[in-house]
Amino acid sequence: MEKNIALELKNITKTFGSVVANKNISLQVKKGEILSILGENGSGKTTLMNMVSGIYYPDSGQIFADGKEIVIASPKDAFDHKIGMIHQHFKLVDVFSAAENIVLGLEDEKGFDMAAYIERIKEITEQYGFELDPYKKIYEMSVSEKQTVEIIKVLFRGADILILDEPTAVLTPQETLKLFAVLRNMRESGKAIIIITHKLHEVLSLSDYVAVLRKGEYIGTVKTSETNESQLTEMMVGKKISLNIERSPVETCTDRLVVNNINCVNREGIKLLDNVSFTARSGEILGIAGIAGSGQRELLEAIAGLQHLDGGSIIYHNPKTGEEENLRDKTPLEIRQMGVKLAFVPEDRLGMGLVGNMDIVDNMMLRSYKKGKSAFLQRKNPKSLADEIIERLEVVTPSAYTPVRRLSGGNVQKILVGREIASSPTVLMAAYPVRGLDINSSYTIYNLLNEQKQKGVAVIFVGEDLDVLVELCDRIMVIGSGRVTGIVDGRNTTKEEIGILMTKSAEDMMQDEGGHEE
């Protein structure tokens, strides 16, 4: 069966500075087969595939296509060997139509014949069961349609080996099912498909083989039909784990932050937040679940004073004075001057929460540098805070004067969370605080959140892993397309219930739109 192998990697290694992203990885995919590459965030899945698609170049190792060794030094080389990758972030020209995007950059010696191209695009869509209007402009498209354009773009160029990076991260469950159907059709017609994912159920329902990576190392490949969820989890995380996040009972519980009917509209007039109301209470963790990009970021930024709102109110109950204050449309500085102790761990750690090029000490100062009347900086307290965080949270760093961009993701996050907690907040908001972190660092973060909860802080936790949300949070609010679709008790709910709520909004939205047209 040697000749059936479409793509084979042998002993691929890639390092970034001192970080080993991929270490001696070997795997293969045959024609007419779907291979999943499974691994946690940061396990090196994307890096590996970027080497196959010509974005990175391996330090060592070999790549074979159709049994021949090949050198892939640019995306063009990858295309020449019929390898196409669909990235997580789409690379499309908004004002062009689907067809224009698909043929963009095509070198056709016969001349440019749009009508013929559209014919071929239609053939491809029919062959594999896509739904696409080639004349539709990208800016009018949903995320799933954009993804379709990206896939057809690759097929149009004759790719026989398709790589999809986290294709379902941005899709609703229905869209995911459609995508899987299309992928199965492609498999039937003999394409080799690699999908990168960290979602177990997708792996099990779709793929023929699963290759597992852990911390840049290749753990093994198993046949999907001969494996199960717990075996894969074990391969992924190293040892069998049940999450078992400690959840202490809620003791004192008073309203801390009451959000009332807030709305937020972006420049294109799309509602990012649609009548969102909820209450965050002291001494409990409020989880926020939802598909990525459903308004989570806007919601937290609105509370932090970074997002303009078009209506509603955000009432803060000051535990010291007992007064009620509206935080809506205040700047972060005004909020702090009002005596509201708000800590915010944003999703974008190095772009927003920290300054990558500054050292740990200078990053500690971000919140506190203004204190005191002197015109000059005082680096003594920030230095001792830095030392304290490094010691207490076991941050791995050469020194407190190392630029934070040089630290690993987990250590960066510890620095950020550590600093935010140091201000002894009354409200703590954290957006995806464990994204990209290893298990140990994740638990450090969970423990810190729990610790804050016990201190009576109102914790708001935006997460993506439903298992974690269910185990960690006291209440879980689910949002979809900027709307609250439900608030459930974390102790009595299930993943499935939350999953249904996450998807409910999408269906509602569709019905709503249908209703408008009539």
Partner 1 sequence: MKKLKNLYWSVLSGSAAHIIKRDDIVWWKAWGIRIISVLLALIVCGFVTVSLTDLNPIEMYITMAQGAMGTPRLVWNLFQNTAILLGVALAVTPAFKMKFWNIGAEGQILIGGLATATCMIFLGEKIPAPLLIPVMLVVSIISGALWAFVPAYFKTRFNSNETLFTLMMNYVAIQIVAYFTLEWSMPKGSGTPRTLEFGQLPVLFGQKYLINILIVVVLTVLVYIYLKYSKQGYEISVVGESEKTARYIGINVKKVVLRTMAISGALCGIVGFLLVAGTDHSLKSDTAGGRGFTAIMVSWLAKFNPIFMVLTSLLIVFLESGASKISEVYRLNSSFSDIITGIIIFFIIGCEFFINYKIKFNKKEEIVC
What Cα–Cα distance (Å) separates residue 470 from each residue in 33, 175, 246, 347, 473? 35, 25, 12, 20, 6
User: CB-based contacts of 81: which residues, under 8 Å, 6+ apart?
Assistant: 65, 70, 72, 161
> CB of residue 432 vs partner 1: minimum separation in angstroms?
16
Q: Are 284 and 253 contacting, i.e. CB atoms less than 8 angstroms apart?
A: yes
> CB of residue 97 vs partner 1: minimum separation in angstroms?
30
Q: Are 442 and 435 contacting, i.e. CB atoms less than 8 angstroms apart?
A: no
- Measured from the CB atom, the residue of 307 and 450 that comes closer to partner 1 is 307
What Cα–Cα distance (Å) separates residue 469 from each residue in 114, 285, 287, 454? 49, 10, 6, 17
| Spatial separation of the C-alpha atoms in residues 11 and 487, rounded to whole Å | 48
> CB of residue 377 vs partner 1: minimum separation in angstroms?
6
Cβ burial of 63 (10 Å; 0-12, 13-18, 19+) is: buried
- Measured from the CB atom, the residue of 285 and 304 that comes closer to partner 1 is 304
> CB of residue 47 vs partner 1: minimum separation in angstroms?
14
Strand blocks (E) in 432-511:
458-462, 475-480, 483-489
- Measured from the CB atom, the residue of 17 and 249 that comes closer to partner 1 is 17
- Measured from the CB atom, the residue of 337 and 511 that comes closer to partner 1 is 337
CB atoms within 10 A of CB 382: 24
> CB of residue 383 vs partner 1: minimum separation in angstroms?
14
- Measured from the CB atom, the residue of 13 and 277 that comes closer to partner 1 is 13
Kindly report the three-state secondary structure assignment for every residue of 391-450: HHCCCCCCCCCCEHHHCCHHHHHHHHHHHHHHCCCCEEEEECCCCCCCHHHHHHHHHHHH
> CB of residue 422 vs partner 1: minimum separation in angstroms?
14
Instruction: Tell me the two tokens of residue 320.
Output: 């010291």
Residue type, 325: E
> CB of residue 300 vs partner 1: minimum separation in angstroms?
11
Q: Which position has the token pair 């620095």?
A: 415
State the DSSP H helix or E strand holding residue 107, giving kind and residue range, or none if neither.
none
**Which residues contribute to the site for partner 1 (CB under 8 A)?**
17-18, 54, 57, 59-60, 68-71, 73-74, 76-77, 304-306, 331-333, 335-336, 344, 346, 348, 351-358, 362, 365-367, 369-370, 374-377, 406
- Name the nearest CA neighbour of 49 among 145, 160, 164: 164
- Measured from the CB atom, the residue of 42 and 167 that comes closer to partner 1 is 42
- Measured from the CB atom, the residue of 42 and 486 that comes closer to partner 1 is 42
- Measured from the CB atom, the residue of 370 and 392 that comes closer to partner 1 is 370
- Measured from the CB atom, the residue of 77 and 255 that comes closer to partner 1 is 77
- Measured from the CB atom, the residue of 139 and 369 that comes closer to partner 1 is 369
Kindly report the three-state secondary structure assignment for every residue of 254-283: CEEEEEEEEEEECCCCCEEEEEEEEEEECC
Q: Are 39 and 195 contacting, i.e. CB atoms less than 8 angstroms apart?
A: no
- Measured from the CB atom, the residue of 137 and 379 that comes closer to partner 1 is 379
> CB of residue 304 vs partner 1: minimum separation in angstroms?
7
What Cα–Cα distance (Å) separates residue 500 from each residue in 172, 270, 475, 485, 496? 11, 24, 16, 10, 6
> CB of residue 299 vs partner 1: minimum separation in angstroms?
15
> CB of residue 103 vs partner 1: minimum separation in angstroms?
21
- Measured from the CB atom, the residue of 20 and 250 that comes closer to partner 1 is 20
The partner residues of 196 in beta bridges, in order of sequence, read 37, 165
CB-based contacts of 208-212 (< 8 A; 24+ apart in sequence): 208/33, 208/34, 208/35, 209/29, 209/33, 209/34, 209/35, 209/36, 210/35, 210/36, 210/37, 210/38, 211/27, 211/35, 211/36, 211/37, 211/38, 212/37, 212/38, 212/39, 212/236
> CB of residue 17 vs partner 1: minimum separation in angstroms?
3
Per DSSP, the three-state class of 94 is: coil
> CB of residue 333 vs partner 1: minimum separation in angstroms?
4
Instruction: Tell me the two tokens of residue 371.
Output: 């204190």
- Measured from the CB atom, the residue of 57 and 139 that comes closer to partner 1 is 57
